[in-house]
Structure 1
Amino acid sequence: MKVRTYAIYVLLTTLGVFLCDASTKHNGIGPITDHFKHFLDENGYSMFDFPRADMSDFGSFGGKKQDSDKITNYPVVFIHGNSDAALTANSFSTGWTNTVNYFIKKGYNLTELYATSWGNTIVSQASYRKHDCKTVIRLRKFVEAVLAYTKADKINFITHSMGVTLGRKVIAGGKLDDLSETCDVGSSLASKVNVFLGLSGANFGLCSCASSIVIPTCNVRNGFYPGDFCGPQNNALCGKSAYPPSCLSKTYSEYLMNLNQDSNKIADKTFSAWSQDDELLGNKNYVWGNFTSLIVHSTGHKIYNGLTHMQTKENTSSDQFLMITTGTIPK
């Protein structure tokens, strides 16, 4: 029997991964500056290890070099996906290097671009990662630190893959029920967010998780479980654009349901983008009749053809820039 799970996909992907000299691709972008690190240490953030020194120069980026450095644009916070990193670590974990270089080319500087890595780039551990309190709270604290450090009225978000659903909770705040604990993320930060861009997120789960709920990343509580809308014997219908009206169940991942049922906005403008040829999300992006990458209450969306899951992040820098800076969808 052919078993398709998120974990198996990621494990197979590693067969083609070869480590590269990441430092040659970063051009001094990472890690975060000493100026920002000093601020973090002085303001009680050192326990969260935002620099990620264990990842050398690809674990984080952002910050001033000196007090006089100016912040002209709304700062951008980047949140990567499962087994990725802030900047290029290897040929699979490519980080935000392309996007950051493009933004710098267009006039931004590192006082306005921020990221910390979450998790690690060990792809064989991808199946164990979920939307847990530790990860969400840590990313929330990073966002709070960026707001305090930059003193910006608003910030922007660019997120990819699992970073989309993590980022949505970071902004929305509220209670989070983990498999092992319950935590309060805090009050909503939506009033502080100008544009939220979600690239290739799994907002309605992954069909590949339908029969794999024992895998942590697919779990029913805070994973990518898409639901058994027609009963487990009909999971093959998950990726169809429509399904029989007799399939009335609307139950899927509790974490994702809570995000999608929240009537409050997470930003002034929210954009979603994905590829119909995404090999990880599959099924032309359908999960029980929904586009899984379409964030509820999106202002607009962009659908690509011919791009892989990672290429929707790597090859769309100009579109990302346009959506963030103009608040419009590229043609």
Structure 2
Amino acid sequence: MLFQIKLVNLLSIFIVILYVIPTQSEFTKNFRRFVRGVSGEKMLSYLERMDLGSGGSFGGKHTSSDKIKHNPIIFIHGATRKASTFAQARQFFTKHGYKSGELYGMSYYDDGRTPLTGVVLRCGDIANIRQFIILVHKYTDRKVNVVGYSMGSPLTRKAILGGKCVDSDQFLGGPLTNIVENYVSIAGVANGYEACSTALGGVPMCNKRNGFACNSKFIKNINNKGYRYEGKNSYAIFSETDTLVGQNCCGKRCSVLTASTRNIRLNGNDHASILTASIGVMFNLFN
């Protein structure tokens, strides 16, 4: 009898875990079917990233009848990471009323197999992120909120801006500004990466075409417009104690957006802790 009671209790706990903890590893079947139907199997594999194992992507409605009550949020991670970077943010938003069909993430690069110094801002990643934004917008029939953390900031900004890629001359298309309600850059490589001007000047990530250097062709391209193109509203969340991205990039703060609706300073945080510190701020910006 004691064994049966313990077995029932364990089963109850397991069921609770299934319902409380959001799935970390992939798109829902409903969203997967939509992506495959609109963009094909190859694009689905680029976005879902099953090759990265658990945490390579997330998002989607469980059934076609699920209601979308909030503008969906698209989270794009930083260098050497993957979509599961935002597990804590997903849990917070879910606790506060968001559903799976309102929270989305995908991965680019290879989850740290390529060292940071070898990472560059590739056109292929930008094109995939851009397609992801378009697909989520079409799937939910709502304007989207886009969040770019660290390297995810310049990638998402270029994905929204469109135009030609600096490394391949591929034309991405026109701006996506009209389908983005709120854009948030967190500890972003907005104006560059300070160490590229000093210790790391010769590594691939600091190259002058599609690298993080403040005077690279890529960084200049996303900053020379003189107007806000990232969305109806744009916000940069940064910390003056972030020593990874740094503070001085060609005379500008590295993580500030010059045409933003508001730049939000969260001092006392480093490059990692600012992501957690930003969760409540984002919730208030989106609601």
Taking structure 2 as the reference length, what is the TM-score of the superposition?
0.87
Structure 1 gap segments, 5+ residues each: 1-22, 88-94, 227-251, 326-331
Structure 1 residue 312, shift from structure 2 partner: 1.1
1:182 match: secondary structure? coil
Say which SS state the counterpart of residue 43 (structure 1) adopts: helix
Tell me how far apart the structure 2 counterparts of residues 213 and 221 of structure 1 sit (CA, whole Å): 13
Which of the residues 195, 200, 207 maps onto 1:219?
207
Partner of 1:163: 152
Question: Does residue 1:279 correspond to 2:268, yes or no?
Answer: no
1:126 aligns with 2:89: no
Say if 2:35 is the partner of 1:47.
no
The list of structure 1 runs, each at least 4 consecutive aligned residues, that deviate by more than 6 angstroms after superposition, is none
- Give 3-state SS (helix, strand or coil) of 2:155's partner: helix
1:30–1:62 contact (8 Å) kept in structure 2? no
Conservation of the 8 A alpha-carbon contact between 2:52 and 2:111: no
Q: Identical aligned pairs, as a percentage?
A: 29
CA distance in 1, matches of 2:147, 2:129: 13
Counterpart residue number, 1:108: 98
Gaps of 5+ in 2: 1-17
Q: Deviations over 1:119-148 (max 9, x none)?
A: 122255322221111111111111111112
Deviations 1:40-99 (A, max 9, x none): 111224213221112223000100111111111111111111011111xxxxxxx00111
Structure 2 CA distance, aligned partners of 1:157 and 1:165?
12
- 2:37 aligned partner, one-letter code: E
Q: How does 1:37-186 map to 2 (within 5 A)?
A: 37-48=32-43, 49=45, 50-87=47-84, 95-122=85-112, 124-152=114-142, 154-178=143-167, 181-186=168-173
Name the structure 2 match of 1:247: none
* Aligned match for 1:288, one of 246, 250, 256: 250
Letter in 2 for 1:83: T
Structure (1 or 2) with the greater helix fraction = 2
Determine if contact 1:29/1:110 at 8 Å carries over to the other structure.
Answer: no
Instruction: Give 1:253's aligned residue.
Output: 216
Write the distance in 1 (CA, Å) between the matches of 2:21 and 2:219.
34
Does the CA contact (< 8 Å) of 2:34 and 2:139 recur in 1?
yes
Q: Secondary structure at 2:39's aligned position in 1?
A: coil
Question: What root-mean-square deviation, in Å, do the aligned CA atoms of Structure 1 and Structure 2 show?
Answer: 1.8
Q: Deviations over 1:132-166 (max 9, x none)?
A: 111111111111111121121x1101111010110
Q: One-letter code of the match for 1:299?
A: T
Does the CA contact (< 8 Å) of 1:130 and 1:223 recur in 2? yes
Number of residues of Structure 1 aligned to a counterpart in Structure 2: 265
Q: Within 2, Cα distance between the matches of 1:56 and 1:117?
A: 11
Give the conservation status (yes or no) of the 8 Å contact 1:213–1:220: no
Q: Does the aligned pair in 1 maintain the 2:195–2:201 contact within 8 Å?
A: no
* Cα distance in 2 between the residues matched to 1:279 and 1:26: 33
